[in-house]
Amino acid sequence: MNKFKVIIPARMQSTRLPKKMILDVCGIPLIIHTAKQALKSNATDVIVATDHEDIFCICQKYKINAIMTSDKHTSGTDRLAEVVKKLNFHDDEIIINVQGDEPLIEPELINALADFIIKKGNPIATIAHPITEDVFNPNIVKVVMDIQQNALYFSRAPIPYYRDGYQNIQHPVLPSQLSILRHIGIYAYSVDFLKKYTFLSYSPVEAIENLEQLRALYHGYKIAVLTTTHPPKPGVTLNDMSNLLPDYANIAIREAIVEFNNKIHGFSMYDAVLTGVETRTSSPVRIKRGNDYQSINIRGLYPAGEGAGYAGGILSAGVDGIKVAEAIATAILSL
């Protein structure tokens, strides 16, 4: 069994959901759910790296290892770099970066990534899986890799751009020669790379795409990409929120609409109320518009079993129902 450590960067302020890390989720803070999932992996240690005393104290209460870090960091990788220096980790040690808002992260996925980076010998590794939808969605990061499973580029744009198949964006034809790969935001690093990362200059392409991994590519580092045909559960789905994370559901949906409100014209935030999630394969959601109700389907989010129940929250309407639903789903999954 390969040895590795997990570090979970957890800053207090989140652009779309302030104080997300300490949200009460079924009586336990969100960050604790994530840390407990990581502890189920083969990691020799799980450490929460935070910039706020409240998160630090919560971790102590639940006997989760935590360390205070600067509140000036612009990325989770910078926060990890501070930790490995503070704790004097050896250069050849492996660190897995698990996002703090991933309470459903699969321990086996963490183990697989640790094994992969050790096998490949790269300073950085990550994971991707094939997709057939959301290719043009800028919130879904795509990656193209070379024959040795190293990333050539990450982008919010549809890459590789299929010239012959993307002429009609409303009805795109995906390439048959290769799969479109969605990047999953979990990383493995060597400690040696993390110590060097903070000295790498901020790259123009990183700023344009708003993707921190592009800094490493810009400076010539190889990022190994593990592909899987069994993608992990998203951090938050409507079913998970209504069953497992009821408090998170209400806030997440509200925040999702704030994010997308400029794209959804017509009704205000308070004109349409999410009244429930039915347990069918297309995830129908009833929208109240005045005294009338409209049913829309959220594709790709499939509640399982009976009693998915009330998800809660406010959402906007006024354009095609499917587009509204997809916007909501995308926003929720990207929180």
Sign of CA dihedral 289, 295, 296, 299: positive
CATH of the domain at 120: 3.90.550.10
Q: For residues 284 and 295, is the Cβ–Cβ distance under 8 A?
A: yes
- Asked if 153 and 286 sit in the same domain, the reply is no
For the chain, the straight-line distance linking the first and the last C-alpha, in angstroms and rounded, comes to 33
DSSP H helix total and E strand total for the chain:
10, 15
- Asked if 288 and 157 sit in the same domain, the reply is no
Task: Answer yes or no: is 232 within a domain.
Answer: no
Task: Answer yes or no: is 262 within a domain.
Answer: yes
Give the residue-averaged pLDDT of 231-258.
45
Q: Which tens digit of pLDDT belongs to each residue from 176-192?
A: 888 999 998 899 999 99
Q: Give the number of domains in the chain.
A: 2
- Asked if 243 and 193 sit in the same domain, the reply is no
Sign of CA dihedral 118, 116, 143, 253: negative
What is the enclosing helix (H) or strand (E) of 226? strand 223-227
Task: Answer yes or no: is 161 within a domain.
Answer: yes
- Asked if 242 and 221 sit in the same domain, the reply is no
Q: For residues 37 and 28, is the Cβ–Cβ distance under 8 A?
A: no
Bigger pLDDT: 17 vs 284: 17
- Domain final residue, candidates 183, 199, 227: 227
- Domain final residue, candidates 203, 227, 251: 227
- Asked if 250 and 185 sit in the same domain, the reply is no
Task: Answer yes or no: is 60 within a domain.
Answer: yes
- Asked if 160 and 298 sit in the same domain, the reply is no
Which residue range forms the structural domain that includes residue 310? 238-333
- Asked if 184 and 242 sit in the same domain, the reply is no
Average pLDDT of the chain, as a whole number: 74
Q: Which tens digit of pLDDT belongs to each residue from 120-162?
A: 999 999 999 999 888 888 888 999 999 999 999 999 999 999 9
CA 175/CA 155 separation, integer angstroms: 17
- Asked if 156 and 30 sit in the same domain, the reply is yes
Q: Which tens digit of pLDDT belongs to each residue from 73-92?
A: 878 888 999 999 999 999 99
Task: Answer yes or no: is 247 within a domain.
Answer: yes
**pLDDT above 80: residue 288:** no
Task: Answer yes or no: is 244 within a domain.
Answer: yes
Whether the model pTM is above 0.85: no
Task: Answer yes or no: is 61 within a domain.
Answer: yes
- Asked if 203 and 101 sit in the same domain, the reply is yes
- Asked if 174 and 56 sit in the same domain, the reply is yes
- Asked if 51 and 195 sit in the same domain, the reply is yes
- The number of beta carbons lying within 10 Å of the beta carbon of residue 213 is 23
- Domain final residue, candidates 175, 201, 227: 227
Provide the pLDDT for residue 270.
27
Q: Collapsing DSSP states into helix, strand and coil, what is residue 170?
A: coil
Least trusted range by pLDDT, from 217-231, 233-247, 293-307: 293-307
**pLDDT above 70: residue 111:** yes
- Asked if 220 and 267 sit in the same domain, the reply is no
Residue 171: pLDDT band by 50, 70, 90 thresholds? confident
CA 9/CA 151 separation, integer angstroms: 24
Task: Answer yes or no: is 233 within a domain.
Answer: no
